[in-house]
A and B are shown apart, each in its own frame.
Chain A
Amino acid sequence: MKSLDASLNDEGSEVEGPLLEIRDLKVTFQTPHGDFDAVRDAHLSIMSGETVAMVGESGSGKSTTALAVIGLLPDNGRVSGGQILLNGEDIAHASERRMIELRGKTIGMVPQDPMSNLNPVWKIGYQVSEALRANGKPARHSDVARVLEEAGLPDPGRCARQYPHQLSGGMRQRVLIAIGLSYPPRLLIADEPTSALDVTVQRQVLDHLEVMTSELGTGTLLITHDLGLAAERASRVVVMYGGRVVESGPSLELLLNPRHPYTQRLVASAPSLSSRRIQTRTRSAFTGEACPRRSRPRRSSGADELLKVENLTKKFKLRSATGRSTPFTAVDNVSFSVGRGTTTAIVGVSGSGKSTIARMVLNLLTPTSGRIVFDGVDTSTLSNRQIFDFRRRMQPIFQNPYGSLDPMYNIYRTIEEPLRTHRIGDRSSREKKVRELLDQVSLPQSSMKRYPNELSGGQRQRVAIARALALDPDVIICDEAVSALDALVQAQVLTLLGQLQSILGLTYVFIAHDLAVVRQIADDVCVMEKGKVVEAGPTDSVFEAPRHDCTTALLNAIPGTGLLPPQVGRSVLTNGVDIAKCSHRPRACRSWK
């Protein structure tokens, strides 16, 4: 009742209650299959100047709650119950005119994906000035420049004259922050503001956001799927699962004593909080007795090098606007080797040349100089026929499970395609193989007839793994294979990769920007910066005693590091829930005789 009374006060007077209070919120979507409640009985409150994080996997209702607050639910969605109190005023059913008044001025938003949230056809300056003008503020060049400068963009005048595609992801995200805070609003909704960014850039952007919101006294609702990040940035955390708030409380307390089973799983699988290779444990648990496994020699330096990269260099020609081309060295004299049955991770921020290496190793891009030796053979000397056979032995898994599967192919056809391409087996044996592969990646046989758009991100990535395994390859190149996935799904896929490695003796080259993920899967690490390998060695030693600044920066950028004392972190892992329980238990044992 207090907040209702508060709304009767004059606008100018200090309001005592929370800035935002959500009570028993229910959001319903109309679908062809009937109504569906995306959010049920959600509740939270945010005081002025406070940051509250909302954590949950995709589809848990986080973003829907946020959109309900700012009144931008999709056409088929509506608030069907509860209240959203902003300074005591219930805006859950406010008129569109009132919402337009509030948007930008009182409630600001920083959206998730910096690539798609700026209109590609308008200059940055225009898109900023538009936000100022819509809220009745002066929008001269100097005002635009000031707003951009406050968001930490160097050379704001120049930036204003550029188009979104001319800026990096981090800079675009800053532009979005500048727009979201331009008025400045009393409440800021930051929906996964940094999940599309590198960890180091993420840290800078979040630091800056924190400084700005605390200076302005803005209340922030931070939406994220990363519990580590949430705990580090917010004073309180709200955990959502299946459309409900299952747990909420002060960050650290929630992290140390998670009560709800989902929160416990989340804490256990948060990559940023775990500190060991996950599959070491699952491997021993898994290969206990029933499963025969191929011999997997322990990594011993140089004993059995399956893949060796020597002095690899790749130069590109960059064309500037004036048509002059300047040489650009994407990969600069890189050497490393990968032992059979081990995982080598290549880590670095985006633009450091990791993916270029992956493409050269896959023989999809010709190196400028240097050699790639696979199983004793220099891959540049292969004939077309030999390259075809080589492809059988080395398969990729790409980052985006939404883009790497053909939407017109059903799952059966997707997995069968490599077998058909390489003319392996007949119809019935190929079908048998596809069934086996689905078993191996723990997908139900019934999914064979389904299409990628009917599957979740994690399921799609399992399909991509099954496709990569179809030809029984020796090496799998995982190019950011888990970075597009939620924390829990990420843990499941990593576990699956680890299990497959121990059963099949696979060798992985694992490309990632997230060191927390790398720690869980890799035996060896190469840290790259600007095309060069700046540090390389066994994972544990690189993590425990980083020698290069770049490695230290990457390590420090992992959200949640140092949040828990090491003992606590470990105890959470060993005494907490078994990660293997979270993932579907692989049924590989049965079919692998």
Chain B
Amino acid sequence: MIRYLLRRLLQTIPVLIGTTLLVYYMVFALPGDPIAALFRDKQPPQSVIDDLRNQYHLDEPFWIQYGAFLVNLLTLNLGNDFTQQPVASTLARIFPVTAMLAVEALIIQAVFGVTFGLIAGLRRGRVFDSTVLVVSLIVIAIPTFVLGFVFQLVFGVRLGWAKPTVGANADWAALVLPATVLGLASFAYVLRLTRASVIENKKADYVLTASAKGLSGPRLVLTHILRNSMIPVVTYLGANLGSLMGGAVVIEGIFNVPGVGNKLYQAVLRGEGPTVVIIVSVLVLVFVVANLLVDLLYAWLDPRIRYDK
């Protein structure tokens, strides 16, 4: 078990190097001079430009730039961004917001997706099942940004149930609307996955045996159908946490959430290689850790899975 954990953590090293290299190169290859873009039509003194160029090794070839970045990263010196704010403190400010948004979206899609999926699976072919399937198909078909604007308009402006935009102080309550929109797209998948899995497990021999023992009602459903059905769903949810954080870029724009997505977008526009790469690296780390957690959850859900192999 511990050996397995260690091996998995060691595997993240090549993953991190690979992604940072790729992302750094893509930002490097963007056309245009980042310093010129920073000052737009203003003409700063040459000494300031030289200072900046020096600080970010902008005149050096790609490998030197990337090398310097890696050394800084390893010594945990994240440096300043082009506006001379320390990246570390920016991250500390924006990361929790996006994490909160993603986790809230994950909880919403898990709770509703699994509940509706379970009921639909148990009542296969009835009205509830058919309705839920059609609705989920519609939700899958509508792009997130359209859904975002619709929710903003309906629940935020017309009904006034929640603030249409989030703004500076983002807490759980303020994030409900963006989190719902973010979670809705994958909610449909969670629902369908749960439903299919429940339908399959309902037919399992051990469910029949459990009924023959005298079990019935919620006890039978929860212990023998739902738990066995959760294995594929958990995989999907875990892999989804990463995409939720990445996918927050659009939603954060629409609802004006001061999160990672917003910052990333600005940094890409400015050609700030180091900042972009640091944010992406953090997202990659989240992805890797989430997947590791899923694999560990597996062992709890399905004791037949063993890691020491």
Contacts and interface: CB of A to CB of B under 8 A. Distances in A.
A111 interface: yes
Interface in A78-117: 96, 100-101, 103-105, 107-109, 111, 113, 116-117
Contacts of B205: 111, 113, 116-117
A118 B209 contact: yes
Interface in B11-30: none
Interface of A: 70, 72, 96, 100-101, 103-105, 107-109, 111, 113, 116-122, 130-131, 134-135, 163, 165, 176, 179-180, 182-183, 319, 321, 323
A179 B210 CA distance: 10
A529 to B, nearest CB: 29
Given A116-B204, A119-B206, A100 B216 contact: yes
B206 A134 contact: no
Interface in B209-225: 209-216, 219, 223-224
Contacts of B51: none
Interface string B248-273: 00000000000000000000000000
B16 to A, nearest CB: 28
A146 B285 CA distance: 50
18 contacts: A96-B216, A100-B216, A101-B214, A103-B211, A104-B213, A104-B215, A117-B206, A119-B224, A120-B228, A121-B301, A121-B302, A131-B213, A134-B214, A135-B213, A163-B303, A319-B308, A321-B306, A321-B308
A241 B107 CA distance: 54
Contacts, number: 83
Interface residues of B, number: 25
Nearest to A136: B214
Interface string B188-222: 00000000000000001110111111111001000
B308 A111 contact: no
Contact of A121 (B211, B212, B214, B228): B228
B3 interface: yes
Contacts of B302: 120-121
Closest 6 CB pairs of A and B: A104-B214, A109-B212, A131-B213, A116-B205, A134-B214, A119-B206
Given A72-B211, A134-B215, 12 more contacts: A100-B214, A109-B209, A111-B209, A116-B204, A117-B205, A117-B208, A119-B228, A120-B304, A121-B303, A131-B214, A319-B308, A321-B306
Given A119-B228, A163-B303, A319-B308, A179 B206 contact: no
A180 B208 CA distance: 12
Contacts of A119: 204, 206, 210, 223-224, 228
Of the candidates B216, B306, B309, the one having the most CB atoms from chain A within 10 angstroms of its own CB is: B216
B214 A165 contact: no
Contacts of B227: 121
Nearest to A189: B212
A174 to B, nearest CB: 14
A134 B204 contact: no
Of the candidates A121, A135, A165, the one having the most CB atoms from chain B within 10 angstroms of its own CB is: A121
